[in-house]
């Protein structure tokens, strides 16, 4: 594996933009509803549609990165994200905003998965989780900045500003990433169908891609309603954004823990720990929707993402190494389809201010997901390429 020129900080700027954009939405749902005089359930379509676009765009970007290179695809995606965020900031009505968020989801979706695949190309599997933790530290900062910035802008100035700022940052990162070298990628042979066959001929790839749907609902879908739940108690968007931003702080802290334990413990251990934190987080949010409870819940769900979901993401980079970009993209497709389903299900309860039931449902659905993830990861034997089999046989 080639590591010459590998710059994890520069690489991480892309995922930072991804989370800045993704987590800007939740604190501004109610301010958007007020400005456009629309029901919260209608405004939540912007978040649900974003998740669907994020997931559905993954296969295209995965195929493209396997053939055209990881860095090139990240830069193209960032450029399109800058345009989509600018459109979001200028949206004259709710329908246009939903359209702009769909474009944003379909654009930004390539950045984080392709960055993780780039790590997979450059870093051996045994060391990959520790390097991934560094990338996820930028994810944590983007998450906190998106939640906090959106809340502050919405309360004191305008909800539109967070999207404008994101557009400017994305454009700047496009230019900066010109200094990042391509990975030692061998372009995939054949077209997309061949890449799909290379992926789905592996049983573990088939399982993990399908399992990503309930996993995504657990990790990505229900979190969106922490800020609206808090705002439903009378808390203003600025405070709600600040409270939910602790999620990003928790992700940052947990990535440091993951980096220390990744090489010392079996992968099912962090899956179990992070999953238990997720279940506990939703139960806390179900018990009370005021600031203290949502803060604790946000911290626990941050642990779910950093410890549980990051381990699953690293696993996805190993299930089909001959089509790594395609396999990882399909995993993310499943996760964001699940996230969209979770967000859509949550909108049904949020519309009636039934946040307690919403988070109880989230906790109940999470339990079998955690158990299944831990048991299957404990059984996973690892994957090697066909040429590596030949090397072993000849040695």
Other beta carbons within 10 Å of 265: 12
pLDDT at 4: 43
Residue 323 contacts residue 199 (beta carbons within 8 Å): yes
DSSP notation for 333-364: HHHHHHHHHHHHHHHHHHTTT-HHHHHHHHHH
At 84 the pLDDT is 92
Q: CA-based angle 274:19:93, to the nearest 5?
A: 130
Task: Give the pLDDT of residue 185.
Answer: 59
Rounded to 5 degrees, what are φ and ψ at 337? -65, -45
Q: How many CB atoms lie within 10 A of CB 191?
A: 10
Q: Residue 6's CB: how many other CB atoms inside 10 A?
A: 18
In sequence order, what are the residues at sequence separation of 6 or more whose Cβ sits closer than 8 angstroms to the Cβ of residue 111?
Answer: 14, 15, 17, 18, 74, 77, 78, 81
- Environment class of 207 (CB within 10 Å of its CB; exposed 0-12, middle 13-18, buried 19+): middle
The confidence score (pLDDT) of residue 305 equals 85
Cα→Cα distances 228→140, 141, 243, 285, 382, Å:
21, 21, 12, 12, 41
Query: Is the distance from CB of 252 to CB of 141 less than 8 angstroms?
Result: yes
pLDDT on residue 297: 92
Q: How many other CB atoms are found less than 10 A from the CB of residue 107?
A: 25
Enumerate residue ranges in the chain where pLDDT < 50: 1-5, 384-395
Q: What is the reported pLDDT for 184? A: 62
Which tokens hold the place of 350? Answer: 């949020």
């Amino acid at each position: 594996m080639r590591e010459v020129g590998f710059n994890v900080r520069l690489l991480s700027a892309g995922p930072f933009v991804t989370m800045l954009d993704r987590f800007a939405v939740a604190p501004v749902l109610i301010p958007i509803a007020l400005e456009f005089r629309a029901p919260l359930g209608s405004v939540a379509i912007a978040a649900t549609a974003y998740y669907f676009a994020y997931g559905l765009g993954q296969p295209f970007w995965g195929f493209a990165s396997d053939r055209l290179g990881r860095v090139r695809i990240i830069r193209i995606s960032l450029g399109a994200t800058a345009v989509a965020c600018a459109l979001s900031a200028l949206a004259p009505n709710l329908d246009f905003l939903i359209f702009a968020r769909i474009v944003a989801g379909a654009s930004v979706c390539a950045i984080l998965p392709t960055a993780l695949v780039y790590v997979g190309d450059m870093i051996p599997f045994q060391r990959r989780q520790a390097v991934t933790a560094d990338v996820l530290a930028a994810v944590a900062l983007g998450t906190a900045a998106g939640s906090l910035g959106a809340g502050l802008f919405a309360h004191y100035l305008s909800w539109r500003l967070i999207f404008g700022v994101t557009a400017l940052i994305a454009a700047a990162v496009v230019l900066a990433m010109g200094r990042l070298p391509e990975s030692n990628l061998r372009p995939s042979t054949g077209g997309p169908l061949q890449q799909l066959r290379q992926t789905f001929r592996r049983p573990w790839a088939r399982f993990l891609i399908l399992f990503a749907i309930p996993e995504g609902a657990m990790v990505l879908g229900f979190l969106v309603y922490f800020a609206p739940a808090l705002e439903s108690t009378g808390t203003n968007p600025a405070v709600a954004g600040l409270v939910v931003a602790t999620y990003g702080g928790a992700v940052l802290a947990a990535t440091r823990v993951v980096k220390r334990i990744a090489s010392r413990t079996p992968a099912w251990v962090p899956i179990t720990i992070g999953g238990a934190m997720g279940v506990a987080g939703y139960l806390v949010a179900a018990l009370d929707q005021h600031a203290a409870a949502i803060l604790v819940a946000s911290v626990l769900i941050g642990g779910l993402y950093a410890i549980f979901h990051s381990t699953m993401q690293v696993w996805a980079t190993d299930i089909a190494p001959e089509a790594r970009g395609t396999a990882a993209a399909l995993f993310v497709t499943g996760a964001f389809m699940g996230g969209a389903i979770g967000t859509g299900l949550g909108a049904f309860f949020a519309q009636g201010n039934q946040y307690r039931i919403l988070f109880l449902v989230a906790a109940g659905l999470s339990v079998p997901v955690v158990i299944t993830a831990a048991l299957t990861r404990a059984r996973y034997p690892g994957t090697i390429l066909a040429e590596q089999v030949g090397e072993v046989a000849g040695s």
